Structure 1
């Protein structure tokens, strides 16, 4: 009987179209990521614009005049915080939160007209930028017309009333009910509208993890059919990289780097993050390693409050280790102020007149561009640990591919360090970041760095 079953099995497979099954190896590795990252995101650096604060005027037209300066800085993808009208019911502060959206299909008159917004996008494209919009899908303003026209599209309290997102103090918004097809159609249609009609290049999705992942996957397919898009999700889960997002937040990196900066950790505190990044996350995933964004500036502190003397070293690590770097508007001007979130609070750009940090950001961007091993996601190289005898202070690594090799040496402590390189991974001849000085390393060499000092060494294939 067993022999008969064995003989019949191939016939059954053939009758059922089993040729494909017979030739498929069930143990062969399968690709987890099903989206294609746009080619222009290969070495991209993000720049976040809060239109309300970015210029003294707080308008699209004024922001457009700043594009040449951003081009000189070297950033690539401009992320605009929500551009839509802001709810008035239960509004926080005088002007309210941009994340309290009154109409997904309109432009906030505080920032200008639709034509002025279109002009900003067109000018950005002409100067080589790509533009992504902040999308708030989880919730709307209380006075969004949807609440009156389709109350069944919203989640309710046990008493049947509209409700904000549970547990948070987001009293100026109410949650959408994502089990309702109408919600998906309305928000998805808005996403398509801005891409199709204004040439938007993608989205940063606010609290993306609070919205079902299948919606994002559906929309990625639909948007890519219009034009190749880039999607950044405010979430830290691998599943969101399968078929929706190119990049997600590296919250663990951000929080760990701040803990080290304030003395609540040391260089080994990053081992867990980078081990997980290599072993758990897909190779194609871009994880946004950021020093500051609008939330951290408003609610956690400025770059100086959060990082102190560790700021430059941690910034260099964010730009050269595995990760997608972000510049929050004002960082390049050494902004040392917590910007008001619900009011107009224009950035004081005069702070940048003698701001060496801004020059560091520009130099790091140029360094990333010049070294393909440092590029994003699937295009860049993995980090490999350089073993040394002072691991609690010296965080050392190599990234190399196709003849390009970069060595990173970071003293993540407030004391000077002299460490011995225990293996030959970093051995070679290099050029020093910024100075161009020739440097040679060998196994067993010692390296010395001042408190919070760092060195970047590179070698090209040429």
Structure 2
């Protein structure tokens, strides 16, 4: 009798058990994209999509048409800049800032409808890519419903007036008060909506360091109960990656690239930065490498303005150094203009030198473990030269795969010797190159090589 009851109980348990996640099923005999995993991050390239400026139409649908093309560039993660309605009160410019949000659970009608976002995400998933949304947790626009219904959610000055974030010129947004636990709960609820209802794969979090770490830790833990997600912090603080974020911005790495290209710093400063990373971050922390993004392009200058003749070598370095490389909308088309931020602008999508180079770099990153840049990244080893201020050489290795990156990071031709020995294959030319300690090598200004060892 007990055996019979046990069988019945087990049957009832199985019948009532929640269905396994739909990502694990198949449709029409085609595998559905599995939730993002640590292994995906090893070879991932992230793409920042500026929907407003990506096309003349500035719509979700126009961007979605090009998602299959991004596979040519090895893109694994698509980061959508804020897609939500923009406040008009105190707004800047004609169209306002993406980061002055009036509703966290709706979409900007200029870009399209919620069904268009659903289609975008499904298209990305069908092409083996994940989609993360830009999330602005530090502040809202002045039209947000919380300002009327829950003014206690916001920071107030001595007069009891809601204020913008202190110490900034962000007058188009109202600062949120994270001492208010109800606001925290509502923020989590709105983030969870996108994961549960639209199947997004994570978030890029604006000025993440300005929001309490304990909020992120609790929120991410709750979101991961829905499904595995990827979290990117627009921040550099290591403590954000202890229990909340997978990746942070490599801001100081980016600044080194700018300064070296401009002659303000040299290879020794790069070496110091690599040592700093080892001392500041844990081995499974990921930093995002970039030579441009929406802030840099609009406010600090184009790639050519900031990097000049060093543009190509710095792009290659962003792929070969430890971390995950970023592509910003238009970068793949050799974009040489500052996109307007508060107005409509358009990227001219004409392929030049950058697209094929990105393709070649992506092929190597996807096929060679020595460029793994995730939580189990390939090693990084500095190789000494007779010209330590101008010549950068390092090797990266994982398993049996090994590559060497060699570059002249100066505006003059340099002859040098190096401790590197043996025969390598030039990745771009497929020619064999022999190295020995007493053999002089020469690199032209800003010339670089990626060698397969």
Q: Same fold by TM (over 0.5)?
A: yes
**Deviates further, 294-303 or 56-65:** 56-65
**Deviates further, 215-224 or 145-154:** 215-224
Structure 2 equivalent of residue 384 of structure 1: 381
Structure 2 equivalent of residue 334 of structure 1: 334
CA deviation map 1:253-295 (0-9, x unaligned)? 1111101111111111112210011222100111111100000
Structure 1 equivalent of residue 438 of structure 2: 444
Could you say what secondary structure the match of 1:242 adopts?
A: helix
- Asked whether 1:432 is paired with 2:429, we answer no
- Asked whether 1:264 is paired with 2:261, we answer no
Structure 2 equivalent of residue 344 of structure 1: 344
C-alpha contact (below 8 Å) 2:44/2:74 kept by paired residues: no
C-alpha contact (below 8 Å) 1:38/1:230 kept by paired residues: no
C-alpha contact (below 8 Å) 1:283/1:377 kept by paired residues: no
Structure 2 equivalent of residue 397 of structure 1: 394
Q: Counterparts of 1:156 and 1:143 in 2: how far apart (Å)?
A: 17
- Asked whether 1:359 is paired with 2:353, we answer no
Q: Counterparts of 2:241 and 2:219 in 1: how far apart (Å)?
A: 13
The CA deviation at 1:158 is 2.0
Q: Counterparts of 1:73 and 1:272 in 2: how far apart (Å)?
A: 31
Could you say what secondary structure the match of 2:359 adopts?
A: helix
Q: What TM-score do you get using the length of structure 1 for normalisation?
A: 0.89
Could you say what secondary structure the match of 2:389 adopts?
A: coil
Could you say what secondary structure the match of 1:365 adopts?
A: helix
Structure 2 equivalent of residue 413 of structure 1: 410
Structure 2 equivalent of residue 25 of structure 1: none
- Asked whether 1:113 is paired with 2:81, we answer no
Structure 1 equivalent of residue 133 of structure 2: 133
C-alpha contact (below 8 Å) 1:373/1:379 kept by paired residues: no
Structure 2 equivalent of residue 4 of structure 1: none
In the alignment, structure 1 segments of 5+ residues that lack a partner are: 1-35
Seen in structure 2, the aligned counterparts of structure 1 residues 405 and 39 have a Cα distance that, compared at 3 Å, is: closer
Q: Counterparts of 1:189 and 1:427 in 2: how far apart (Å)?
A: 57
Residues 16-415 of structure 1 mapped to structure 2, 5 A cutoff: 38-350=38-350, 352=351, 355-415=352-412
The CA deviation at 1:440 is 2.8
Q: Counterparts of 1:345 and 1:250 in 2: how far apart (Å)?
A: 28
In the alignment, structure 2 segments of 5+ residues that lack a partner are: 1-35
Q: Counterparts of 2:255 and 2:145 in 1: how far apart (Å)?
A: 38
The CA deviation at 1:38 is 3.2
The CA deviation at 1:37 is 5.7
Structure 1 outlier segments of 4+, above 4 Å? none
Q: What TM-score do you get using the length of structure 2 for normalisation?
A: 0.90
Could you say what secondary structure the match of 2:162 adopts?
A: coil
The CA deviation at 1:87 is 0.3
Q: Counterparts of 2:193 and 2:126 in 1: how far apart (Å)?
A: 21
C-alpha contact (below 8 Å) 1:249/1:287 kept by paired residues: yes
The CA deviation at 1:77 is 0.5
CA deviation map 1:353-405 (0-9, x unaligned)? xx112211111111111211211133222211101110010011111121111
C-alpha contact (below 8 Å) 2:43/2:374 kept by paired residues: no
